[in-house]
Amino acid sequence: MTTTTTALDQLKKMTIVVADTGDFERMKAYLPRDATTNPSLILKAAQQPNYTHILQGLKVSHPHLRPAELVDEVLVAFGLEILKIIPGRVSTEVDARLSFDTAATIAKAKRLIELYESHGIDRQRILIKIAATWEGIQAVKALEAEGICCNVTLVFSLIQAAACGAVNAQLISPFVGRITDWHKAKLGNAWNDLSNGGPHDPGVTSVRRIFHYFKHYGISTEIMGASFRNIQQILELAGCDLLTISPELLNELQTNDSPVIRRLNALDSATAISAEQIGQLQLDESQFRLALNNDPMATEKLAEGIRNFCIDTDKLEILLGQ
């Protein structure tokens, strides 16, 4: 008698699976090790009737806090509930409106850590999410030096990834689906799922390049593929350090029993880097800004990501002020 193993179970043997949601009730079924949240996911969860009690409880227990201050409490409240479910770490995001202010980002990160520690949570179970702007990366450098681990988010290019590795960021989140979205929109009718999908998917190739770069040059920063549009993108990155996946796609993986093959292997890195002739990047501020500016996809998607997180943070404040 043979036992069928789900694609999700197979994937977990080669990659750490992370749940990408603020809806902590849904993640219980998939037994992820870690979980990630962002302002958009928390806003979505906060608007669901089964989580109304969390918001109301915070407003009652903190009657003198302004909505902007209550947002921190909400983010941590959801994080605390998630930590009751998972054995690992939760990622909690710094206010995206601070993405171009290093000092304010550092202060906000420390505030979030203080809130978690006031509830008895060890800071090693928290990853502070910070956007991969130059200012954000400098904040990461300072925070990591103080033992506050960071997840640098909205990574769309090797330039951003290399800068994060240079400051010893704990983890980076390259956004697979959003990279693919940009290229798909750019190509329009010329896009072909056969030639532009699978191993040739632009989002997949971007993460694969970052993976081989980090492994070849001995960069210890963890790589967590994020923002997936379909399970094919996920399966093409099997073997990546971590992959953060929405409940919808986790469900697809759990109900799929196709064989999962390791696609990323550190042993292949020397050959891959040699084939692309990628030298180790040394970036100061002006070099970083120029290189990012010269990558229209990364520039546009970084700006769009920050802008949308700002909008959803504003919406969350309005919800808390009602």
Catalytic residue among 12, 129, 184, 215: 129
What phi, psi does 77 have (nearest 5°)?
-60, -45
Q: CA 237 → CA 115, 207, 272, 316, 318, distances in Å?
A: 35, 8, 15, 33, 38
Q: What token pair was written down for 66? A: 């302004």
Secondary structure of residue 33 in the 3-state scheme: coil
In a 3-state reduction of DSSP, which class is residue 264?
coil
Burial of 175 (0-12, 13-18, 19+ CB in 10 A): buried
Q: Exposed, middle or buried: residue 254 (CB in 10 Å: 0-12, 13-18, 19+)?
A: middle
Contacts 24+ apart (CB under 8 A), 203-207: 203/174, 203/175, 203/176, 203/177, 203/178, 203/179, 203/227, 203/233, 204/176, 204/180, 204/233, 204/236, 204/237, 206/156, 206/157, 206/158, 206/174, 206/176, 206/179, 207/174, 207/176, 207/237, 207/240
Tokens standing for 19?
């749940």
Do the Cβ atoms of 234 and 249 come closer than 8 Å? yes
What would the two tokens of residue 167 be?
């400051």
Tokens of 197: 């999908």
Q: Helix 158-166 crosses helix 296-321 at what angle (to 10 degrees)?
A: 70
The yes-or-no answer on residue 301 being catalytic is no
With H, G, I as helix, E, B as strand and everything else as coil, classify residue 174: strand
For residues 198 and 207, what is the distance between their CA atoms, to the nearest angstrom?
13
Q: Which residues belong to the active site? A: 129
